[in-house]
Amino acid sequence: METDPLITEPKRARERFEATHAEIRARIVLLDYRPGTKLSEALLAEEFAMSRTPMRRVLARLEDEGLLSSKHGVGTFVTNVEPEELGQVYRLRKELVLLQTSLDVVPPTPALVAQMQEIVARAKTLRITPCARDFSLLDQEMFLLLLDLTRNEPLRIMSKRLYFRTTRIWLQQVAGSETALLEEIDVFAREAAEILNALEIGDLDAVGHIRRGHISLSFARMSAERGSDPPANGYIR
């Protein structure tokens, strides 16, 4: 049976849009595009081999997610996160992680537990060969994996937006210090191991409270630091 091109073409366009959005978002989160970087719609459209109209839509979505800011007549820039905003986001994220394991829940599958086991193993390996970029990718992987414990789409969308809005902050703090990076890897490894233990016995309530506790402790360390930036030794994810 032949596939109707009128159906496949929009699907391909959506997939291309999503892939482009994910790639540019990753560049922002991993600090390939640092805060204040000016992005060129024309150059990005050329790089991704798409017209400027869909690229404009990609950038508009990233702006809606708080990762970009457009100034009329000036350009589009990667945003930074103000301390007050960061505090508000983390207070909200602290509550959302409980909903992710109590609202429209999906019981952990053997495949999900196996992926979590791999994350724990990779965290231990990362302790031997620390790399801030690899750590950031591993943290993102765990976040997205645990988000599969809920099928509530509005909750998933909001959680993703808040996570990617602020996950750059800790990377900026630890990227230049191996000591700080190792400390953060240790904290992550402990959290991942605790979550794995809870998943293996199917205790989703414990998973939510473990994650909430780690966010709360991170925010407490951040609040104790009276300055414009979070503390270098605070695990702000």
Which of 27-31, 67-71, 140-144, 168-172 bottoms out in mean pLDDT, i.e. has the lowest?
168-172
pLDDT in tens, 73-109: 889 999 988 877 888 888 899 999 999 999 999 999 9
pLDDT in tens, 129-157: 999 999 999 999 999 999 999 999 999 99
Q: H/E element holding 77?
A: strand 75-78
Residue 215's pLDDT band, with cuts at 50, 70 and 90, is confident
Which of 22-36, 80-94, 109-123, 148-162 bottoms out in mean pLDDT, i.e. has the lowest?
80-94
Residue 75, beta-bridge partner list: 71
What is the predicted pLDDT for the residue at 229? 45
Select 5-78's CATH number: 1.20.150.20, 3.20.20.140, 1.10.10.10, 1.10.238.10.
1.10.10.10
Closest CA to 173 of 67, 86, 70, 64: 86
Which has the higher per-residue pLDDT, 84 or 68? 68
| Region class of 31: left (phi > 0), else alpha (psi between -120 and 50), else beta | left
Domain 83-224 indexed as CATH 1.10.10.10 = no
**pLDDT of 197 over the 70 cut:** yes
What is the predicted pLDDT for the residue at 237? 52
Residues of the chain with CATH 1.20.120.530: 83-224
152: amino acid identity, one letter: N
Alpha helices in 130-203 (DSSP H): 132-147, 153-166, 168-174, 178-200
Q: H/E element holding 112?
A: helix 110-128
Residues of the chain with CATH 1.10.10.10: 5-78
**pLDDT of 163 over the 70 cut:** yes
Q: How far apart are CA 211 and CA 134, in angstroms?
A: 21
pTM of the model: 0.85
State residue 117 phi and psi, 5-degree precision. Answer: -60, -40
Radius of gyration of the chain (CA): 19
CB 36 within 8 A of CB 78: yes
Instruction: Tell me, rounded to whole angstroms, the distance of Cα 141 from its chain centroid.
Output: 8
